[in-house]
Amino acid sequence: MRIEVLVDVKTTLGEGPLWDVEQQRFYWIDSFDGRVFRCTHDGREVRAWDVPGKIGSIAIRKDGNGAICSLENGFHTLDFKTGDVELIHDPEAGKDANRLNDGKVDKRGRFIAGSMDTQESGPNGALYRLDPDMSVHKIDDGIIVSNGPCWSPDGKIFYFADSWSGEIWAYDYDLDTGTVSNRRTFTKVDTSQGGAADGATVDSEGYVWSAGVYVAKLYRYAPDGTVDRVIDMPVKKVTSVNFGGPNLDILYVTSMAKPPLPRFPDDGVQRGSLFAIHDLGIKGIPEPRFGA
């Protein structure tokens, strides 16, 4: 196993790692500075787009010419050619203490993204589904910080973390309707050292990878929720993970340069970097595009 700094852009809050198989390009975001980044699998040809506000996640659109963004004030489109950003719908208009956060696309092209309390203290957030017809539907609520949405390889189990609950949850996921049911505890997260479950992905073997933010660790969980592997990272504030590269065998890891609240720890000189982990012997699953 080899860990390298792929791109050192010192993202204030790096998040949303996403490998697009069709373009063979890697995307990630700076949530606090409002930027979307793109590069090749080996960190070349770095490009950036500005968006008007904090951003939680993106999904590449079906035509590849733009993205869906979960911004602090709702779902938006981003045109890669012009840089234009347009509002689709704000499901939490009037909730000034909330913003949209982490999101992913299901096998039918729907974008699932959750919101969060910006002070990370109250269960004021919810989980939303943006359909290809641009309609928005609430599918769960009572969430403090939405993180780590991802699916089992067959798309029938949806994994999700409310970071400060101390758990990663599993739901039954109906691919025909895009609804969730039967929420249960997938695994309990060790929060004794001040860490929490952040962004996540699922590999081709059905194991869940989760970033242990603030404790410098990545966890690989077996389908039964037991810890299969722990990787120690060179920075504490690792935020999310996604497999990519030509063979889908590089694990990309985002990180933050500055903690969002004073109670969280500082970090070393590599803080905010985009990391790439090689030679794991494991492959990921292609991320679907948003279906409109």
The answer to whether 138 touches 128, Cβ cutoff 8 Å, is yes
Looking up tokens 């979307």, which residue turns up?
36
Hey, what are 209's tokens?
């990878």
DSSP H or E segment with residue 203 = none
- Is 198 marked as binding a ligand? yes
Beta strands in 203-268 (DSSP E): 208-213, 217-221, 227-232, 238-244, 250-255
CA angle 229, 232, 233 (to 5 degrees): 130
Residue 246 has φ and ψ, to the nearest 5°, of: -55, -30
CA distance 221 to 199: 13
- Is 8 marked as binding a ligand? no
CA distance 290 to 282: 26
CA distance 169 to 191: 15
Burial class (CB in 10 A: 0-12, 13-18, 19+), 269: exposed
* Overall size of the chain counted in residues: 292
Q: Identity (one letter) of the amino acid at 291?
A: G
CA distance 123 to 130: 21
- Is 242 marked as binding a ligand? no
Given 33, 140, 198, 249, the catalytic residue: 198
The answer to whether 199 touches 240, Cβ cutoff 8 Å, is yes
Mark whether 198 is an active-site residue: yes
What positions carry a catalytic annotation?
198
Which residues are annotated as part of the binding site? Answer: 15, 99, 101, 147, 198
Detail the residues annotated as belonging to a binding site for a divalent metal cation.
15, 147, 198
Q: Give the residue ranges of the annotated binding site for substrate.
A: 99, 101
